[in-house]
A = this chain, B = another copy of it.
Amino acid sequence: MPNPQRLRGVLSPAVTPFGSDLSPDPERYLRHCKWLLANGCSGLAVFGTNSEANSLSADERMVLLEQLIQGGVPPEKLMPGTGCCALTDSVRLTSHAVSCGCAGVLMLPPFYYKDVPVEGLYRSFSEVVERVGDSRLRLYLYHIPPVSQVGIPIALIERLLKAYPGTVAGLKDSSGDWNNTRALLEAFAKSDFDVFAGSEVFLLANMRNGGAGCITATGNVAPGPIDALYRAWQSPQADAMHNGIAATRAVFQKYPMISALKAAIAHWGKDPGWCTVRPPLTELNPAQTRALLEELAVRGFDMPGLARA
């Protein structure tokens, strides 16, 4: 049975807006986050990969999180990313998120050192849990080997669940490999461990096999249609809905994802400043932007209510 106190459904790793000086823009950020929650997202996995969180310092993340909550975003809807290379940074961000009342944290393994033993990864997560020392912590593991190059093996999850039942709450699988997601569901779906697909492309299959939803980049731009599939996954229309949202995602995937998401938000929000990304990323060039927007327009893509009145 789903745990009623846990986030489920469609979560978006909200993209982070920057001013022309590359500093985070709390006003644009708050508006975008509120739009997401009003348009289909059941929660926000702020400070994810697609949030350019790894281009933000720990202090910048903590300030933004506090600004969101002060601006009216309920912390029980938030699952901030808190996994850093440095143990001390991960502990600091996780403690802060818990103290802010966040529903959970989505934690990358330390990702600089490669080919580390499972024992080392276990100690990394274990040290964070022990040092945070707060029974309110809900830890979601973040498996994204295509980017982090350091994954979360099943043997690690087994050890963590045994050591910290109730605290270790789930995982986001951004491997892009359905076989891995299926193996996770088979191993853990009955253990009060919530498996989120890392893309809406796997949302339907994930729900049919006991998953909890998805945490997806394109949740930033198409939260409504993805949420509609989440709600209707048992309906006869589910496969057709799946095909529709997968086709939209395929358009975005032709481009660097983060820059493409921001270009769409800039266009439909009538706010060109949204295009700014922090190095090492670069914004789409004008030809890419035109091609993206044209292809989306042909599909009838829209972000209703995004533009300021």
Binding site for B on A (CB under 8 A): 22, 49, 54-58, 60, 85-89, 92, 109-114, 116-117, 119-121, 123-124, 127, 146-150, 278-282
With A54-B112, A148-B112, A149-B149 in contact, do A120 and B88 touch (Cβ < 8 Å)? no
Decide: B87 and A127 in contact? CB cutoff 8 A: no
Question: Which listed residue (B88, B89, B280) contacts A124, Cβ 8 A?
Answer: B280
19 more A-B residue pairs beyond the given contacts A22-B87, A116-B282, A120-B280, with a C-beta to C-beta distance below 8 A? A54-B85, A54-B112, A55-B112, A56-B86, A57-B58, A57-B86, A57-B88, A87-B278, A87-B279, A112-B147, A113-B280, A114-B149, A116-B280, A117-B282, A121-B279, A123-B279, A124-B280, A149-B149, A150-B280
A54, A88, A150: residue with the most chain B Cβ atoms closer than 10 Å: A88
CB of A95 to closest CB in B, whole Å: 13
CB of A23 to closest CB in B, whole Å: 9
With A113-B281, A117-B282 in contact, do A87 and B55 touch (Cβ < 8 Å)? yes
Question: Which listed residue (B57, B92, B121) contacts A89, Cβ 8 A?
Answer: B57
Instruction: Determine the distance from Cα of A89 to Cα of B119 in the docked complex, in whole angstroms.
Output: 29
Decide: A109 and B57 in contact? CB cutoff 8 A: no
Decide: A279 and B124 in contact? CB cutoff 8 A: yes
Decide: B54 and A92 in contact? CB cutoff 8 A: no
Question: Which listed residue (B85, B123, B282) contacts A85, Cβ 8 A?
Answer: B85
Decide: B54 and A127 in contact? CB cutoff 8 A: no
A86, A117, A279, A281: residue with the most chain B Cβ atoms closer than 10 Å: A279
- Please, could you name 25 A-B residue pairs with CB atoms under 8 Å apart, sorted by A? A22-B87, A54-B86, A54-B110, A54-B113, A55-B85, A55-B86, A55-B87, A55-B112, A57-B88, A57-B89, A57-B92, A87-B279, A110-B279, A111-B112, A112-B147, A113-B280, A114-B146, A114-B147, A116-B281, A117-B282, A119-B282, A120-B279, A121-B280, A123-B282, A124-B280
Copies of this chain, complex-wide, total: 2
The 7 closest A-B pairs by CB, nearest first: A54-B112, A120-B280, A123-B279, A124-B279, A116-B280, A57-B88, A54-B85
CB of A161 to closest CB in B, whole Å: 18
Instruction: Determine the distance from Cα of A172 to Cα of B88 in the docked complex, in whole angstroms.
Output: 27
Nearest B-chain residue to A119, judged by Cβ: B282
CB of A75 to closest CB in B, whole Å: 24
Question: Which listed residue (B55, B56, B88, B149) contacts A56, Cβ 8 A?
Answer: B88
CB neighbours (8 Å) of A56 from chain B are 86, 88
CB neighbours (8 Å) of A148 from chain B are 112
CB neighbours (8 Å) of A147 from chain B are 112-114
CB neighbours (8 Å) of A278 from chain B are 87
